[in-house]
Structure formats: structure tokens, C-alpha cells
Amino acid sequence: MTNSTPHNINRRTLLRSTGIIAASGAVLAACGSSSASKTITRIGETPEITKLGDATVTDVVLLRTAMSVETMARIILTDTTFASLAEKTSAAVVAGFARAHTAHLTNLRSLISSRGGEAYEEPNEKLMASYGTQALGLVADGKNPDDVLPLTLAIETLVASMYQYFVSLTNEPALRASMIRMGAQSSRAAAVTAQLINPGIGAFAPGVDKDGVATVATLPSAFGALNAVQVQLGPVNPETGSRTTVSMDTPSLNSFIY
């Protein structure tokens, strides 16, 4: 029988084990790449988190964002390739819609400056990257005149939806009315475009053609919709037999111009 008790052995073993683990850890940490970090991460220590600044959606932010979307709409509708594909009748109509967006920009500049804000003259970078550039690229690839009116319809519907959505975020009631006036004009343009694609009073309601494919409806819903606008553009994919569907969303918190 020895004098040592299980308690002493356990304590020693524990100390030894801890020492070995600590030493191994230090060696392994030293072997790590120095490019990742200059400091060794230690238990109980977290990297300092830089807080994002507060981004409040003010009326001026909404107006600046509206400017960025109106600019994007004007850029798409006046794109050289896009405009060159349009037939004579539709070309004049699309050019008229582009002028309306320019008029909206003038109106927006005035609304922003009267509120002490700064106008935003660039297209919405995030939305252009999300779908604007892709849509124009598909039109250029397909070189199909049939793409002109559907893309115009999508753009006008998108702008109308944006203003409708912005009403729910706007503080000043009078400004809500100013926004919906511009939205209503885009909504009218969308209805006219839908009639150019699928004319007649029979095309007011949603329907299907003889092949069961959904037709373009002039009045697709009783209330203004806020869902993403989808449009098929570009060349037919020989493998799938379909064209690319571009989904266009109204601006949101990550694409607002603060």
C-alpha cells in the first residue's frame, strides 16, 4: 500500500495534461500563417466589432432613391441597342415614356432641394447590378424587336410599384400624393404598353392563348401589386427551349440611396 492517494495522482495528472495541452497549443499557434492575423486569438477574447452607422429612411432618402430608379429607367429606355430594335410606332411611344422619366427627375430634384437634400443623379447601382445590366445584355444578345415592349412594360410597372411602396414609408402626407402622381403616370404607361402588346378590350383581363400560355393583361389585378416584376428576354436557350427570366424588385433597405 502506498501513501499516494487517487486525489494526488489525479491532481498531478491534471496539471501535467494541462501543461502539455497549453504547450501544444502555443506551438500550433506559432506554426499558423502570419498573414491571417498578427495577433494570436485567445480564449475569452473577441475581435472588436465595428458597428454600422444608423441608416434612417427619411423622405429625402426615398426621393433620392426614386431619382436613382427613374435614372435607371431612362437609361434602359434610351439605350442605343434597345431603342434601335424598337419598331417605328413603339419607338415613338418608348421615347415618350423616357421623356416622362426625365420630367419626373426634374420634379424629384425640386422636391429634394425644397427639403434641404441633395439630388442623386446616378442610376441605382445595386439594381443595375441585380437586373438592369442583365436585361440590357439579354436584349443586345437576342436582338429581338419583340423584347422592346415587354421590357418597357416591366420597367413602367416597376416604377409604379416603387412609388406605391414608398407611400407606405413616407412621413409627409403631401409628399405621398406627389409620389403617387408620378407612380400613376408610370402605371398609365404600363397599361398603354400592355395594350400595344396585346390590344383590345378582351385583353384587359388575364387570360391564356390557344396554347395555354398566359397572355399580357392590361389590368392584371384590382389593387396595385408590390411583388417582383418578371420578364422573359434574350435569345432562346437551345437546351431548355426557354428564354431567361429577369426578376425586377423595387428598391429596398439595401438599395436605398441614403
Partner 1 sequence: MDNHQVESPESSVTTRRRLLSALVAGGALASAAPILAGRASAAGDGTNAPSRDPRDNNALNNALAREARMVGTYRLAVAAAAADDEVAGLTLILDHHIAYVQAIKGYLGPDAEAAPETPLSNPSGSVKSMASSLAQLEDQTATIHTDILAILSGMGGAKIIASIVIVEARHAAALSVFSGLTPLAASGN
User: Which residues sit at the interface with partner 1, rule CB under 8 A?
Assistant: 5-7, 54-59, 61-62, 89, 92-93, 96-97, 99-100, 160-161, 163-164, 167-171, 173-174, 176-177, 180-181, 183-185, 187-192, 194-196, 199-202, 204-205, 218-219, 221-224, 253
Q: How far is the CB of 129 from partner 1 (least distance, A)?
A: 23
d(CA 73, CA 125): 12
Q: Which is nearer to partner 1, 7 or 42 (CB)?
A: 7
| Closest listed residue to residue 199, CA positions, set 90, 76, 83 | 90
Q: How far is the CB of 113 from partner 1 (least distance, A)?
A: 19
Concatenating the DSSP letter of every residue in 64-121 gives HHHHHHHHHHHHHHT-HHHHHHS-HHHHHHHHHHHHHHHHHHHHHHHHHHTTT-----
d(CA 202, CA 214): 14
Q: How far is the CB of 25 from partner 1 (least distance, A)?
A: 28
Q: How far is the CB of 180 from partner 1 (least distance, A)?
A: 5
Tell me the chain's radius of gyration from C-alpha atoms.
30
Q: Which is nearer to partner 1, 133 or 198 (CB)?
A: 198
Q: How far is the CB of 189 from partner 1 (least distance, A)?
A: 5
Q: Which is nearer to partner 1, 138 or 190 (CB)?
A: 190
The residue behind cell 430634384 is: 109
**Half-sphere exposure in the Cβ direction for 63 (13 Å, CA):** 25
Q: Which is nearer to partner 1, 85 or 194 (CB)?
A: 194
d(CA 159, CA 119): 18
| Beta-bridge partner residues of 232 | 245
Q: Which is nearer to partner 1, 80 or 89 (CB)?
A: 89
Q: Which is nearer to partner 1, 221 or 240 (CB)?
A: 221
* Coil, helix or strand at residue 28: helix
Q: How far is the CB of 216 from partner 1 (least distance, A)?
A: 12
Q: How far is the CB of 76 from partner 1 (least distance, A)?
A: 17
| Beta-bridge partner residues of 230 | 247
> H helices within 114-168, ranges in order?
125-127, 133-142, 148-167
Q: Which is nearer to partner 1, 140 or 167 (CB)?
A: 167
